[in-house]
Amino acid sequence: MNPLEEALKIKDQIIAWRRDFHQYPELKYEEERTSKIVEEHLKEWGYEVRRISTGVIGTIGEGDKMIALRADMDALPVQEENDVPYKSKIPGKMHACGHDAHTAMLLGAAKIIAEHKEELNGKVRVIFQPAEEGGNGAKVMIKGGALEGVNAIFGIHVWSELPSGVIGIREGPFLAGAGEFHVKIKGKGGHGASPHETVDPIVVASQAVLAFQTIVSRNVEPIKPAVVSVGAIHAGTAFNVIPEEAEMKGTYRFFEPEIGKLIEKRIDEILSGITKAYHADYKLNIVELTPPTINHSKMAQFVKDVAQRYSIGTVSEVSLTMGAEDFSFYLQKVPGAFVALGIKNKAKGIIYPHHHPKFNVDEDILHLGTALEVALAFEFLRL
């Protein structure tokens, strides 16, 4: 069985699935339609199927060894601006990260694997997870038992920074760890004309935003990548009223857990010092931490070898990114690797970054993702 030839045979089907998912995007933990389609196909192909939240896992084959392949299914709250026949039919929602492609590629792989299950030297588990976009759906799947009995896991993400057909692999750290912080600054409201009788939370929040900029520039070792960004700040309702409270939220990124801890500590210290100086109070909440995605060296090397052995795409090294991925949760539990699949195609106008209203994928290479997943499954079980 040649994975690339098998994937080429169902190339149109993979594209049709992707277009269908693309037209009906569903946000995190709302993936009812998508997961139902996946579930029905997996059952039809002979998988033992189990639902976990709005996710689905399917298992096929016999034996002690098991490889897992993962796709995410959720879309984003983005209004699509592409003018294509398969444009999103849901206002304000769009597959702007390519998870429609991930679901379609893995469905294709699941089909091929089922057709050749007699040749499997063990079990394959396909994991279709919900809520990758800020919902840590991977955590929910793991809690629900998705990794039970699994020896290794692989996942593919379409990648707008790489040209079409490039298989981007990296040993060690690949995507950053990410945290989210929410801050409430409590001051004392009053008349805009009598600031001396108030504690202005807007002035305090402004000082804090500026001081946060020194965390990366003055606290983190310069050769270590880190980000602190305030993405939202809200306070007040009228031009002449000093409000009681100001709220802000932001994200921070890092590759080493100690750097993440340092950033958290500095955010707290800065808030503590600044609010003290201005007689205000604060509440800090750190939520939804996603660890850095760190590929296991041997598994990354294995992906490279398999892609080259079966002439699937062009293997290249993918750059580090400060983006985050909840695939990291799986990699904390079992060895594996997260792989980038290039989808940028200037000639087709496919040049926009992930999460952009004009993001799109070069569908002509999606079968490469399917082929790689099939090849990884058969080769891993043969190891």
Shortest separation between residue 321's beta carbon and Ni ion, angstroms = 11
The smaller minimum CB distance to Ni ion, of residues 4 and 69, is found at 69
Shortest separation between residue 72's beta carbon and Ni ion, angstroms = 6
Q: Give the number of residues in contact with Ni ion, rule: CB under 5 A.
A: 1
The SS3 call for residue 93 is coil
Stretch 304-323 residues interacting with Ni ion (CB under 5 A): none
Shortest separation between residue 90's beta carbon and Ni ion, angstroms = 18
Stretch 68-127 residues interacting with Ni ion (CB under 5 A): 97
Which one, of 160, 156, 174, 159, lies nearest residue 303 by Cα? 156
**In the chain, beta strands by DSSP E:** 48-52, 55-61, 66-72, 123-129, 152-163, 166-169, 172-175, 177-186, 190-191, 226-235, 241-242, 245-254, 281-290, 293-295, 314-317, 336-344
Shortest separation between residue 323's beta carbon and Ni ion, angstroms = 8
Shortest separation between residue 121's beta carbon and Ni ion, angstroms = 31
Stretch 127-156 residues interacting with Ni ion (CB under 5 A): none
Binding mask 24-63 for Ni ion (x = CB under 5 A): ----------------------------------------
The smaller minimum CB distance to Ni ion, of residues 66 and 175, is found at 175
Shortest separation between residue 91's beta carbon and Ni ion, angstroms = 21
The smaller minimum CB distance to Ni ion, of residues 42 and 97, is found at 97
> In Å, how far are 26, 27, 197, 235, 273 from 192, measured between CA atoms?
44, 41, 10, 14, 25
Strand order in the sheet with 152-163: 48-52, 55-61, 123-129, 66-72, 152-163, 336-344, 166-169, 314-317
Enter the tokens of residue 317.
């090294």
Residue number of the CB closest to Ni ion reads 97
Interface residue list for Ni ion (CB under 5 A): 97
